[in-house]
Chains A and B, each alone.
Chain A
């Protein structure tokens, strides 16, 4: 399971930079990021190269941050893939709580990070493989 770092930040200038500075000083690398905005504050979500260390370093500086399990899913870049993914999850009553992703133009691979609610204890890895997707293993992800 990939680890996503979620950080609570006030919505005002300089906050995102402050996290980036801390991570940079610790020699850590950010691979993906997105912000869930709630007006006065937001949740910044990061995929980093060393999640546990990143959390420690940020927590030491006083940030409210938590690690969450997310699925790192990959598939070749093809139209309709996201729809296929959605159908597969729906059929097994798996709820998608959060998702973000991108396609790497150079190798035409799509990677997305999914937070799911697995209501019925389904074998998600098997489910995804059937549909032509691949769950990235930790080694694979953290060797990116």
Chain B
């Protein structure tokens, strides 16, 4: 097999040189971090006052972990390392509560991130001849714009359609002879179920590949979708804290995505003790972003559980592969590609007086897509006896939830005391989604 490369030198760099490069970049990042109020305090506690205090890669472990809550607490500018004038892009991602997290990028940061995406796209075998339909949300999420810039750099023809409106998506695929998609696994399945409805046949489409991300999915799901569409599907992993999509990308071998180790230092740790684990052992994935200066993040705990492949990939890349994400250390849910914490839902419900304290979150599959149903109890004392109160209550809950978690939930109203009550820790999330 011929393996295409965007930056062959870097992608096949021997480990010793790669680690030298990591060390050099880590020291630069420490320099930027020390410009932020957050890291000044954190690093002072461990006697790190300048990049010179990092002498080897092993010194990385002197640096304390950063967690999601740190980002929330330093919102908006506690982690900003440059003048706002140098920031050319702002992205956001969900927080565990109503407070979002913000990520800043300078022009050079964007450039380096885009380069990694181009690298991933080319590694999958795509070229400038591909017609790329980007079906991930544009806006504050990094998913849309991230791949968009990467695809443009490769020279693909980019159709920035975003999500939703299945009929239009299919029409565009047909009219423009789309060859590549960026999409969530659930949406890809959903579209297939609706093709007949819109009178579109697979033979009329020119699809050849899809980049799937934003939702963990099994190898079985990937195979099934490949068979369904007769295309190649590549896993793409990322998180906004590490710029966005493209932190790791599958090559033609399709045997788990390569983490671009010149861009990120990846560690696997025991989530309880924080001790590093060897390749092959599952633990919590921790990243240090080596290429973003505007908002430096070091040893960021992702709360994703995975392992690093010890064996090299046949493609010849020296950048190691990260396994599929096998779980989370927290209770975060991913609903149609969107991260949602149960605590966000709880925060909204508690702010509505007509709703009782007991609630349940149900996840189900409906026409291939994830459906979120929130069951609440009417608060006995505030019931007026009017239907209009109840109708507007449902609407109010739905609107407030959408404002907080950005997706539409189905709301069910229940009698007081009718939802399951819990002794001890509440298990409020029931996930009955059908996984292929």
Contact = CB atoms under 8 A, between A and B. Distances in A.
Interface of A: 4, 6, 8-10, 15, 36, 38, 40-41, 43, 59, 62-68
A43 B417 contact: no
A9 B390 CA distance: 12
A62 B417 CA distance: 7
B352 to A, nearest CB: 15
8 closest pairs, A vs B, by CB? A6-B385, A66-B385, A64-B383, A62-B417, A64-B378, A64-B380, A68-B385, A62-B416
A137 to B, nearest CB: 23
A144 B154 CA distance: 86
Interface residues of B, number: 15
Interface of B: 378-380, 383-385, 387, 390, 412-418
A63 B380 contact: yes
B416 A41 contact: no
Contacts of A68: 385
B421 to A, nearest CB: 11
Contacts of B385: 4, 6, 43, 65-68
Nearest to A10: B415
Given A8-B378, A59-B380, A64 B387 contact: no
Contacts of A38: 387, 390
Contacts of B412: 40
Contact of B418 (A10, A36, A43, A65): A10
**Most chain-B CB neighbours within 10 Å: which of A4, A41, A59, A68?**
A41
24 contacts: A6-B385, A8-B378, A8-B390, A8-B413, A10-B418, A15-B415, A36-B387, A38-B387, A40-B412, A40-B413, A41-B390, A41-B413, A41-B414, A41-B415, A43-B385, A43-B387, A59-B380, A62-B380, A62-B415, A64-B378, A64-B383, A64-B416, A65-B385, A66-B384
B28 to A, nearest CB: 58
Given A9-B415, A65-B383, 11 more contacts: A4-B385, A8-B413, A10-B414, A41-B415, A43-B385, A43-B387, A59-B380, A64-B379, A64-B380, A65-B385, A67-B385
Contacts of B384: 66
Nearest to A61: B417
A9 B278 CA distance: 57
A8 B412 CA distance: 13
Contacts of B383: 8, 64-66
A63 B390 contact: no
A4 B386 CA distance: 12
B387 A63 contact: no
A10 B378 CA distance: 11
Contacts of A4: 385
A10 B379 CA distance: 14
Contacts of B387: 36, 38, 43
Contacts of A9: 415
A38 B392 CA distance: 13
Contacts of B380: 59, 62-64
Contacts of A36: 387
Nearest to A64: B383
A108 B257 CA distance: 83
B356 to A, nearest CB: 9
A39 to B, nearest CB: 10
Contacts of A63: 380, 415-416
Q: Chain B CB within 10 Å — which of A59, A62, A64, A65 has the most?
A: A64
B395 to A, nearest CB: 13
Nearest to A18: B415
Contacts of A40: 412-413
Nearest to A41: B413
B382 to A, nearest CB: 9
A54 to B, nearest CB: 13
Contacts of B418: 10
A9 B412 CA distance: 12
B122 to A, nearest CB: 52
B29 to A, nearest CB: 54
A89 to B, nearest CB: 20
Contacts of B413: 8, 40-41
Nearest to A9: B415
B256 to A, nearest CB: 44
A66 B387 CA distance: 12
Contacts of B414: 10, 41
